Amino acid sequence: IMMLKHLQLAGHKPIALIGGATAMIGDPSGKSEERKLLTEEEISKNEIGIKKQLEKFLNFECENNSAEIVNNNDWFQNISTIHFLRDVGKFLTINYLLNKGFVKERIKKDDLSFTEFNYILMQAYDFLWLFENKNCKLQMGGSDQWGNITAGSELIRKKLRKEVFAITCPLITKADGGKFGKTEKGNVWLDATKTSPYQFYQFWLNVSDEDAEKYIKIFTLLSFEEISLLIEKHKAEPHLRLLQSALAKELTVMVHSLQDYETAVEASQILFGKGTKEMLKKMEESLFLSVFEGVPQFNLSKTELETGILLTNLLAVKTQIFPSKGEVRKMIQAGGLSINKEKITDDTTLNISHLLNNKFLLVQKGKKNYYLIVIV
């Protein structure tokens, strides 16, 4: 997507290809086993999501080079098998296709289906169709798509005797060799319903120094001079994590919004010790749960809180946050216990009025240990 964005800024017209037809087949590239085939309903849903996400990066309403989205189902749904074999199949030999690296690997395992084998021909035809109908002369993708893209350039060369071009970029990895975008909690998504803006912000904020330097060059539109200055400042004071902060800001604003970025920063302050009860009260429930996702949770009936409950009973008996009432009292005396970001000084009685959003009590033990009590 960033490659498309850079080329559009340079005056080129980006065409984003959605594989509505090829998604029904499954791309064998880079896969050790056959992909799960998607239903038409799943593909349609994905298409809507892709369009929504691309609009955050590409300009679809500029004068000369507006971005465009096309779906290969629009041309494949009307093409006959005979037409496809005559106009595509005869130009790409079996030997040529068998020499593709990913085909070789899958054939060794004896599990490449004829369905997947034909995917290469379909993607090759995509490039042909785009060249003939949209004057598209350059196709881009990840390095795992090199075989599919060059099959398209070969088809155009043989069938039309025209020259087109291919660019691929390496698949992004982390400094430790792990997959980019993977966390202990799963994938990081552009879709806010799958990865909240706060979680998205935190992901970039917590990358390593080496990864931050790499990603800020790839995923932001900061100039070479701006990035060089940030790297220089970061190396002088690495504890300030200036690179990570700049990376998290640029991407959260680009993918979500400035308001989402500012909310994420404020939420981070709450989590790491600078928040107040008033800030907690202003947080929407979805953001609150996103910030404290993964902290230990305990349920408490509303009736128990309505009559009032001693803090020691709540934390040592009803929830087992502490092993004993004595341990609760020791923590209070040491000044290390807070409820809803307010320091506790005695064994107070809690009731409904202490709830956040009429539903939560946030317990903080020491500087970093949080617990969430949910009223049910």
DSSP 314: I
Identity of the amino acid at 307? T
If asked whether residues 149 and 9 sit together in one domain, one would say: yes
If asked whether residues 129 and 206 sit together in one domain, one would say: no
State the pLDDT at residue 29.
54
**pLDDT one-digit tens code per residue, 29-42:** 544 455 566 677 87
Count the neighbouring beta carbons within 10 Å of the beta carbon of residue 28: 25
First-to-last CA distance in the chain?
A: 44
Asked if residue 179 has pLDDT above 80, the reply is no
If asked whether residues 225 and 309 sit together in one domain, one would say: no
Q: Is 289 contained in some domain?
A: no
If asked whether residues 134 and 190 sit together in one domain, one would say: no
User: How many whole angstroms separate alpha carbon 80 and alpha carbon 93?
Assistant: 20
Residue 258 token pair: 């400035």
Asked if residue 96 has pLDDT above 90, the reply is no
User: How many whole angstroms separate alpha carbon 222 and alpha carbon 333?
Assistant: 50
Paired with 342 in beta bridges are 339
Residue 370 token pair: 């949080």
DSSP 318: I
Q: Is 290 contained in some domain?
A: no
Q: Is 304 contained in some domain?
A: yes
Three-state DSSP class for 349? strand
Length of the chain as a residue count: 376
Helices (H) and strands (E) in the chain, counts: 18, 13
CATH code of the domain covering residue 363? 3.10.290.10
If asked whether residues 149 and 195 sit together in one domain, one would say: no
If asked whether residues 23 and 158 sit together in one domain, one would say: yes
If asked whether residues 135 and 239 sit together in one domain, one would say: no
For residue 287, give the H/E element and its range. Answer: helix 285-291
Q: Is 153 contained in some domain?
A: yes
Residue with tokens 């202490």: 354
Of 64-68, 190-194, 273-277, 312-316, minimum mean pLDDT range: 273-277
User: How many whole angstroms separate alpha carbon 99 and alpha carbon 93?
Assistant: 10
If asked whether residues 240 and 352 sit together in one domain, one would say: no
The domain boundary, picked from 284, 313, 332, lies at 284
Rg (Cα) of the chain, in Å, rounded?
Answer: 27
**pLDDT one-digit tens code per residue, 47-89:** 888 888 999 999 999 888 999 999 999 999 889 999 998 888 8
CATH code of the domain covering residue 128? 3.40.50.620
If asked whether residues 252 and 164 sit together in one domain, one would say: no
- The answer to whether the Cα torsion of 243, 244, 248, 249 is positive or negative is negative
User: How many whole angstroms separate alpha carbon 132 and alpha carbon 16?
Assistant: 16
Q: Is 15 contained in some domain?
A: yes
Q: What are phi and psi of 24, to 5 degrees?
A: -75, -15
Non-local (6+) Cβ contacts of 210 within 8 A are: 175
Asked if residue 106 has pLDDT above 50, the reply is yes
For the chain, how many structural domains are there in total? Answer: 3
**Nearest alpha-carbon partner for 230 in 251, 218, 212, 253:** 212
pTM for this one? 0.79
Q: Is 291 contained in some domain?
A: no
If asked whether residues 86 and 220 sit together in one domain, one would say: no
If asked whether residues 273 and 187 sit together in one domain, one would say: yes
Instruction: For residue 359, give its domain range.
Output: 297-375
Q: Is 29 contained in some domain?
A: yes
Average pLDDT, the chain: 89
CATH code of the domain covering residue 276? 1.10.240.10
Q: Is 220 contained in some domain?
A: yes
The domain boundary, picked from 139, 169, 199, lies at 169
Distance set, CA 90 to CA 96, 128, 131 (Å): 12, 14, 19
The domain boundary, picked from 120, 135, 169, lies at 169
If asked whether residues 42 and 117 sit together in one domain, one would say: yes
State the pLDDT at residue 232.
97
DSSP 105: H
Burial bucket for residue 106 (CB in 10 Å: 0-12, 13-18, 19+): buried
